[in-house]
């Protein structure tokens, strides 16, 4: 059977559940039933995480926004290491932000958001390499206090 792989995409072919090959853009042939296809977009991607709330070590709640940007470099790893790269990066970023804020006072986080950005970039870059993605600098809005 034939399939069309669009420009700036590739198709990862799995045969009996294992990575077999990567199809480049164009009209390509594969064996349905024996092989399965997963299309991967190679264009730069971005995802704006919903505002993240985190509690600092003194119990004060902070809120900030987050934008993640990445490009798939290894389509086979991006489809086998994680089910959804965007959702995985967002969950990891949320956990990293909460861990970072949870260990500091609100004044320190608000005064030095670059430290949070460095911690976030270091964590995401390490995991992103294993997941076959390259991360561009992440956008973080300045943390603000939440009144309750």
Q: Dump pLDDT digits (tens) for 32-90.
A: 999 999 999 999 999 988 789 999 999 999 999 989 999 999 999 999 999 999 999 99
Q: In what order do the strands lie in the sheet with 18-23?
A: 18-23, 9-15, 35-41
| CA dist., res. 115 & res. 127, Å (int) | 19
> Whose CA is closest to 116, among 130, 131, 137?
137
**Does residue 148 register a pLDDT over 70?**
no
Beta strands 61-72 and 133-135 are antiparallel
Integer Cα distance of 53 and 143 in angstroms: 9
Domains of the chain: 2-41 (no CATH), 45-145 (3.30.479.30)
- The whole-model pTM stands at 0.87
């Amino acid at each position: 059977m034939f399939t069309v792989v669009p420009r700036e995409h590739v198709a990862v072919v799995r045969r009996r559940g294992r990575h077999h090959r990567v199809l480049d853009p164009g009209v390509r042939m594969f064996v349905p039933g024996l092989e399965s296809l997963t299309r991967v977009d190679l264009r730069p991607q971005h995802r704006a995480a919903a505002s993240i709330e985190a509690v600092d070590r003194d119990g004060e709640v902070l809120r900030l926004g987050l934008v993640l940007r990445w490009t798939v470099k290894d389509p086979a790893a991006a489809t086998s290491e994680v089910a959804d790269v965007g959702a995985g990066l967002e969950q990891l970023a949320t956990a990293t932000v909460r861990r970072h804020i949870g260990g500091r006072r609100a004044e320190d986080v608000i005064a030095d958001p670059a430290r949070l950005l460095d911690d976030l970039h270091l964590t995401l870059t390490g995991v992103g390499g294993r997941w076959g993605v390259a991360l561009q600098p992440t956008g973080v809005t300045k943390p603000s206090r939440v009144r309750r």
